[in-house]
């Protein structure tokens, strides 16, 4: 069996949708740990109708998503833990599909899936399906291609490997998932289920953490110093910063086209690539059709 950790704050409607999707899974979890990050207290009674073993932790004050995920893992009962953000949901067979992959080898410490993108104003309509990216060398691809695993809600981990790398880095404000994947790639094998089992919500108001481009600049430098600098490899360094600037450009699209184009140019100058070239030219209203994350 497995555990699920959900982080939440003042989004009860989304949280209810998230838990409801878990309750409809073909393979139910042993426990679901909801960590409320200092928001309005979450009452167990809201979820009493679901046939789930739910544990709720209400933080007195906000400690950040990384702290909450680590706390959730520490309070989970099973060795395999899946993460979910409160505004995401799962398809009925998503956990079962990924659990089957874990069973293929004891060396597999992380299993991920793809996503089906929905908009916050229309949660029942799938706008785009993103399949999981294949890789034969995750350490190589995470450095050279960027976050090939994807967001936290797509991932399940084995606690032994998660704890080996000390979990989520609580000093990071973004890119915390990317940081953890890079750390775990050095201690275990990764795999995916070749499905798109998570409903990933894009918020129409643009207030997602992924739109705060300045955080990416700071976190990118931090990750370089933590993971890349010691390797003293120019090709690796160039590829890493090119990928970071592309991510910054996508996030900056919600702020201004000038910033979007500026960071896309920096990415392209370091390492010419099609994505950054498109970002230099496409204004936001066109970009949204290609990259709904922006």
pLDDT per residue as tens digits for the range 206-222: 544 445 788 899 999 99
Total domain count, the chain: 2
Residues 6 or more apart whose CB falls under 8 angstroms from that of 161 comprise: 109, 110, 184, 187, 188
Residue 275: per-residue pLDDT:
87
Q: Does residue 268 surpass a pLDDT of 80?
A: yes
Q: Do residues 142 and 215 share a domain?
A: no
Rounded CA separation 261/213 (Å) = 13
Q: Do residues 34 and 123 share a domain?
A: yes
CB atoms within 10 A of CB 260: 25
Residue 214: per-residue pLDDT:
86
What domain range is 227 assigned to?
A: 209-290
Domain end call among 135, 170, 202: 202
Rounded CA separation 17/24 (Å) = 11
What is this structure's pTM?
A: 0.90
Mind listing the pLDDT tens digit for each residue in 57-70?
999 999 999 999 99
Mind listing the pLDDT tens digit for each residue in 230-246?
888 888 899 999 999 99
Rounded CA separation 247/47 (Å) = 37
For residue 151, give the 3-state DSSP assignment. coil
Query: pLDDT averaged over the chain?
Result: 91
For the domain that residue 46 is a member of, what is the CATH number?
Answer: 3.90.550.10
Domain end call among 145, 176, 202: 202
Residue 294: per-residue pLDDT:
46
Residue 292: per-residue pLDDT:
56
Cα dihedral sign, 14-15-20-22: positive
Least confident of 13-17, 89-93, 158-162, 245-249: 245-249
Residue 130: per-residue pLDDT:
94
Mind listing the pLDDT tens digit for each residue in 250-263?
888 878 888 999 99
Q: Do residues 67 and 194 share a domain?
A: yes
For residue 17, give the 3-state DSSP assignment. helix
Q: How confident is the model at residue 225 (pLDDT cuts 50, 70, 90)?
A: very high
Please name which of 125, 124, 21 lies closest in space to residue 82, comparing C-alpha atoms. 21
Q: Does residue 79 surpass a pLDDT of 70?
A: yes
With tokens 């709720």, the residue in question is 56
Q: Do residues 56 and 167 share a domain?
A: yes
Domain end call among 187, 202, 217: 202
């Amino acid at each position: 069996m497995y555990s699920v950790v959900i982080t939440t704050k003042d989004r009860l409607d989304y949280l209810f949708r998230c838990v409801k999707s878990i309750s409809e899974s073909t393979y139910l979890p042993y426990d679901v740990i909801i960590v409320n990050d200092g928001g309005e207290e979450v009452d167990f009674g809201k979820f009493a109708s679901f046939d789930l073993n739910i544990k709720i932790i209400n933080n007195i004050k906000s400690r950040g998503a990384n702290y909450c995920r680590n706390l959730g893992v520490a309070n989970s009962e099973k060795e395999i833990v899946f993460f979910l953000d409160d505004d995401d949901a799962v398809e009925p067979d998503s956990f079962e599909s990924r659990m089957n992959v874990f069973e293929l080898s004891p060396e597999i410490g992380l299993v991920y899936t793809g996503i089906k993108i929905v908009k916050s104003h229309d949660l029942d309509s799938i706008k785009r399906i993103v399949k999981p990216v294949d890789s034969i060398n995750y350490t190589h691809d995470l450095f050279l291609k960027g976050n090939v695993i994807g967001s936290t809600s797509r991932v399940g981990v084995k606690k032994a490997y998660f704890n080996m790398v000390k979990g989520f880095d609580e000093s990071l404000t973004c890119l915390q998932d990317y940081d953890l994947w890079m750390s775990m790639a050095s201690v275990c094998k990764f795999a995916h289920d070749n499905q798109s089992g998570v409903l990933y919500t894009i918020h129409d108001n643009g207030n997602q953490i992924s739109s705060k481009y300045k955080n990416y600049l700071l976190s990118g430098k931090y990750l370089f110093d933590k993971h890349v600098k010691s390797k003293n490899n120019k090709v690796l360094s160039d590829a890493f910063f090119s990928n970071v600037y592309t991510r910054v450009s996508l996030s900056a699209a919600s702020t201004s086209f000038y910033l979007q184009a500026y960071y896309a140019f920096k990415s392209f100058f370091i390492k010419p690539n099609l994505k950054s070239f498109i970002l230099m030219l496409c204004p936001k209203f066109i970009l949204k059709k290609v990259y709904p994350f922006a």
